[in-house]
Chain A
């Protein structure tokens, strides 16, 4: 039987564009603040759970070990996990099971991110999440994934971009009341968002959360320890996490089933049977404004396609029926990736204790849900937190709301002139093998054929092909030639390169469902004006001349609209 587990303390640094503090100094600032908030000394900590996003951000291999002293891990059991953007919420889950299992009574959960070290742009560290053989030759940009998902979400549900933009407005306004916020803005309007630069249509500059540095920490304790440490613990009532397919173009881009699966697990553990009645405050993951809505639907708090109108109508405001991201979220407080997720758990802790100051949602919220999303854009991590002792007693409230510890933001000039700074490149170069299935697929492209593999168990035809079916977990059965035609599932009009430099000509990346196959496929549209591209458009492959083909994804030059299909 798992033990009950509570959060008893929380602390965070300011989220800034570029911190003077090193990553471990940031981690220490947040960690000591969390300990101080519950008057605990480091020697009471039994184990440390830490998370931080790719090593390539900091340019430090084994970043967990590098950060460990700042997280209080000296001489203690220590583990670092990493599930991309889902990491911050996941490290709370890990702290939960470390305590629930009886392995530790008091755990420090720490999330740190320092993205500013990466030059020329942190996206460089993300490019290898695309398939190195089938997708990277197309010159992808991380924004493509979001733009493609957002376009399909908007198109299938017939959504108004204004309603989605209202999420960015709400969060940046909420963040104006957060002492740690990087982008709080009390007077921003929907017009400001809609007038911001288009990066990869439909994604505009103010739809996106900022690159940031920062750290967050929690003190997590067993029931016995929690009651000794705090008169007002907040219980972790349920946790869940779930993965979708590794083939992102084959996912349902409209509904995040993996978030729903994670939410069902967490609600089940928490005894939540009617989330729309029993969840009083939500901190869904909002790296982009549409993602908050996508995730609220995945958390089963709104019907599919209905969260945007709730945002428009003020339901998600702090004073609305379901306050969502009262912290200000990633869009307002900032997005130091792993730290941003744990910030959401910290916000629930403060909200449920009635300690959120100007951010406090009205009434006496008894239960909240926090969620993050990441890995190869496929993991959902969900935590349900609540207080079962009724509304908070005023005696336990802090006299003043928790404040962020300082992180000093360096200007461009200070960053360039910092004494002792060192510039270096890891210089990691690779040679990626195509492998068995994709090797045969590329042979097919050279002769003008698109080949798939059949799984006779689930009946799917897999393009790009694989030698095993990830759903049935058995070998696939046979090769089959599919059509050279398909249907556009979604597309984007991208105006920037991966390092955010303007492109002379916009690119038109698209997910295309090849006729005769199941699932989608990333390629480019051509011979079509950007304004004429449509979801649902029938397209056909345009091949390079035979003599120029090399057995590469680029043997297909692009996909163009099929003639006579309008």
Chain B
């Protein structure tokens, strides 16, 4: 039943797309998180007293016990590096001018980790377990975005 295609350039193909784009709104807890970041430069989490567990960014509910949570627990700005990677190529496979280090950091007071760039790791190799801190952009440059966080840098 299969047809033998002798000349691949003769295969007829119909180009097309799925014409959708999206506006992602961050929801009830997400808006509280981004407002606090923009206005006060702080990172808000939600603490579940029942499970003794603190989520960052803030959440409306505890996924473990379903309790309603308040986005009112400040965490960080320092924390512990849980893991990291060094990226040498971009999303299209192109080599990057400078390798980019991404870190997963458990901020002080939080149980979950936050992913962001690790800034200027320098010559000394970065290590899991190291202390890092969040660097937030100056207030005038903050827009209410995850990019209001510049990244993690080594604590002094």
Contact = CB atoms under 8 A, between A and B. Distances in A.
A32 B66 contact: yes
Contact of A551 (B12, B33, B38): B12
B66 to A, nearest CB: 4
A2 interface: no
A428 B21 contact: no
A425 interface: yes
Interface stretch (B24-32, B96-104, B114-122): B24-32
Interface size classification for chain A: 35 or more
Contacts of B13: 431-434
Contact of A419 (B17, B18, B21, B144): B144
Contacts of B26: 22, 418-421
Nearest to A434: B12
Nearest to B31: A419
| Residue from the set A75, A422, A436 with the largest chain B CB neighbour count within 10 Å | A422
A301 interface: no
A38 to B, nearest CB: 14
Q: Which of B64, B66, B145 is packed against the most chain A CB atoms within 10 Å? A: B66
Given A415-B25, A433-B12, A426 B20 contact: yes
Interface in A420-451: 420-426, 428-434, 436, 439, 442
The prevalent SS among residues of B at the interface is: mixed
Contacts of A117: 22-25
B144 A420 contact: yes
Contacts of B22: 58-59, 117-119, 423-426
Interface in B1-42: 1-3, 11-31, 33-35, 38
Contacts of B60: 21, 25, 28
B61 A70 contact: yes
Interface string A204-215: 000000000000
A56 B20 CA distance: 7
What bracket does the count of chain B residues touching chain A fall in? 35 or more
Contacts of B61: 25, 28, 32, 70
Contacts of B31: 20, 418-420
A119 B23 CA distance: 7
B35 A132 contact: no
A125 interface: yes
Contacts of A467: 1
A474 B9 CA distance: 31
A325 interface: no
Determine chain A's interface SS by DSSP, over half rule: mixed
Contact of B28 (A20, A122, A434): A20
Contact of A22 (B17, B18, B27, B65): B27
B15 A430 contact: yes
A330 B10 CA distance: 48
A59 B3 CA distance: 37
Contact of B29 (A25, A58, A133, A410): A25
Contacts of B18: 56, 124-125, 127-128, 426, 428, 430
A318 B60 CA distance: 38
A137 interface: yes
Given A70-B61, A74-B63, A419-B34, A410 B25 contact: yes
Contacts of B16: 128, 132, 136, 429-432
Given A41-B65, A424-B21, A432-B14, 15 more contacts: A22-B30, A24-B27, A58-B22, A59-B22, A72-B63, A117-B24, A127-B19, A136-B16, A419-B31, A421-B24, A428-B17, A428-B18, A433-B12, A433-B13, A551-B12
Interface of A: 20-22, 24-25, 28, 31-32, 35, 41-43, 56, 58-59, 69-70, 72, 74-75, 117-120, 122, 124-125, 127-128, 132-133, 136-137, 408, 410, 415, 418-426, 428-434, 436, 439, 442, 467, 475, 499, 551
13 contacts: A20-B25, A22-B28, A22-B30, A32-B61, A70-B63, A122-B20, A124-B19, A136-B14, A136-B16, A419-B26, A422-B24, A432-B14, A551-B12
